[in-house]
Amino acid sequence: MDARPRAYPISPHPPATAPAAGIASGFLSALSALVVLVKLRVVLLLMLSSFGGALLASGGRLATGNLILLLVTGFLSASGASALNQYLERDLDARMRRTHKRPLASGYFSRPEAVLEAGIYLILLAVLIALPFNVMLTLFLILGALTYVGIYTMWLKSRTLLNIVIGGAAGSFAVLSGSAAAGNWAHPTAVGLALLIFVWTPIHFWSLAQAYRDDYAGTSIPMLPALVGGRASAGWIALHAGATILIGLLLSVDPALGWLYLLPVSLGGLWLGSLSIRLIFTPTRTQALKLFNVSNIYLGLVLLAICGGTLL
What are the pLDDT digits (tens) for 166-209? 999 999 999 999 999 999 999 999 999 999 999 999 999 999 99
Which band of pLDDT confidence, cut at 50, 70 and 90, is reported for residue 7? very low
What are the pLDDT digits (tens) for 110-163? 899 999 999 999 999 999 999 999 999 999 999 999 999 999 999 999 999 889
DSSP alpha helix (H) spans, the chain = 17-37, 40-58, 64-88, 90-94, 112-130, 135-145, 163-167, 169-181, 188-211, 213-217, 224-228, 230-250, 259-281, 285-311
How far CA 183 is from CA of 41, 58, 139, 178, in Å, comes to 27, 8, 13, 9
Per-residue b/e over 70-84, b at no fewer than 16 CB within 10 Å?
A: bbebbbbbbbbbbbb
- Which CATH number fits the domain 40-311, given the four candidates 1.25.40, 1.10.10, 1.10.600, 1.10.3710? 1.10.600
How far CA 14 is from CA of 6, 17, 19, 21, 145, in Å, comes to 20, 6, 11, 12, 50
What are the pLDDT digits (tens) for 245-282? 999 999 999 999 989 999 999 999 999 999 999 999 99
CB 232 within 8 A of CB 223: no
Residue 78 confidence (pLDDT) above 70: yes
- What are the domain boundaries of the chain? 40-311
The model scores a pTM over 0.85: yes
